[in-house]
Amino acid sequence: MKPLSTVLLLLLAVPCVAADLTGNWVVRDALPDGTFRTTYLDLYQEGSRITGTIRVTQFYYKIIESTGGPDGFTLTGSLTDGTNERRVKYEGKLVGDELHAATRRRPDAELIQVVAHRAPPGEGAYPTRLPLPAIHKVADNGLSKTPPMGWNSWNKFAGRVDDAAVREMADAMASNGMKAAGYQYINIDDTWEAGRDAQGNITTNKKFPDMKALADYVHSKGLKIGIYSSPGPNTCAGYEGSYGHEEQDAQTYAAWGIDYLKYDWCGARNLYADQEMRALYQVMGDALLKAGRPILYSLCQYGRAEVWKWGADVGGNAWRTTGDIRDTWDSMTNIGFSQDELAPWATPGHWNDPDMLEIGNGGMNGDEYRTHMSLWSILAAPLLAGNDLRNMTPAILEILTNLEVIAVNQDKDGKQGRRIAKWGDQEVWARPLSDGAQALGLFNRGGTPTKITVKWTDVGMKSAPARVRDLWAHGDLKLDGAEYSAAVPAHGVVMLRAAK
């Protein structure tokens, strides 16, 4: 039998776990790609009041409301980006050494049951904020003299994209007429990342076993390949970001053969304010130039901090001007028709980006998708298809590969179109082209067919132009008089090319 003094010493050496919720709790959910979605609840209980933080992927919530204790509790966490508030709620209880709880990631989402275990203090805390560089102008990389054209995985596949799908998209683009029409980028969005190796190099998860081999395959089709990251510690989906590893990641992308980087603000907002955005994007702009490979740089930060005024100065070839698009008429038109005042900042090599195309994803009809394609082309916007290229209908392929409309988008002068007239649900937009012609869009945003009239003097012409081409009907028009009227279907467009 051990002496009493020895027993007391052994008891004192055992960590004392408080009989409340105080502690750093971790939930690790295994994902099909071999990575984990990790949530941390760093809690402090004082009587019936619980404070602390909740970290879910790139979201970092402060607990603002709470009730109860170990036998039953509720927690509400809040975060705000200065304009919008996002909340998360947990309800549960302490069961032995485990925290059993239920949560909804969105108010309309299904209830998720989680089990949390104690983690070491400090694990999961946000990293130390790194100092920002002095502002300077990043040299122009000389890329994207016309708006980039290609495909991006997010709108259709989100986190379900994998190596096989990317190869099949490249096969489709190379053979279905899209490559011949000018599409060239096959872009992988979020969820390809795993973590970092012992040397800090970014690694891929099991969905993408060999990124270099995948890039080689896409290149073998005469196409280019793009990838995705974030200036923050985490991406939007909670995967590994480039924070503190910008030069290392740029070198890795170059070694893999990457041609395009979409760089998404999400995870950086917990460390930096919007007014510091330019400096953080500058870090990656410099890193890409040092990488030794031409890599198109696409900024994705939702039009915050008036990015169009500084996007080119951080090396950006394109910059998002809006929030995420959805495959609905309201989303597409609210975004597309809001771009008029940004026209002065679009120039060859540097483009306003109202987000990717939803054409073919099923949420709109043919007239609405033609409006989508026409408006993005008049806006000199990137044309990044977001549908499944392997099985689209001939009608959708025809919209995406309309060479006459694409020629407007790819005009070498790179002048973004403007709204020249608006009354009710009817709008007329015009874009000057390099040969002196004008591209015109007669848009009917209303729900019934209507007649839209354009006056030639409104587009700088004294009389009817000598040559007018209907770019969707693929026919020439013979016109005279001071104006032109066309019947435009509900939510539709008539798109013209008018030359003096």
- DSSP letter string, 336-402: HTT-GGGGGG-BTTBEEE-----TTSSSS-HHHHHHHHHHHHHTT--EEE-S-TTS--HHHHHHHT-
Q: Which of 42, 163, 249, 264 is catalytic?
A: 264
Written as six digits, the tokens of 106 are 């969105």
290 contacts 247 by C-beta, under 8 angstroms: yes
- 3 state DSSP class of 89: strand
User: Alpha-carbon torsion 385, 388, 394, 396, what sign?
Assistant: negative
192 contacts 228 by C-beta, under 8 angstroms: yes
Question: Is 411 tagged catalytic?
Answer: no
Written as six digits, the tokens of 475 are 């026919």
Which among 232, 228, 306, 204 is positioned nearest to 59, based on CA atoms?
A: 232
137 contacts 145 by C-beta, under 8 angstroms: no
- 3 state DSSP class of 417: coil
Angle between helices 246-256 and 277-290 (to 10 degrees): 40
Quick one: DSSP state of residue 111? P
Written as six digits, the tokens of 296 are 């198109």
Instruction: Return the percent helix, strand and coil in the chain, to nearest 5.
Output: 25, 30, 40
Q: Which of 313, 324, 340, 458 is catalytic?
A: 324
Catalytic residues: 264, 324
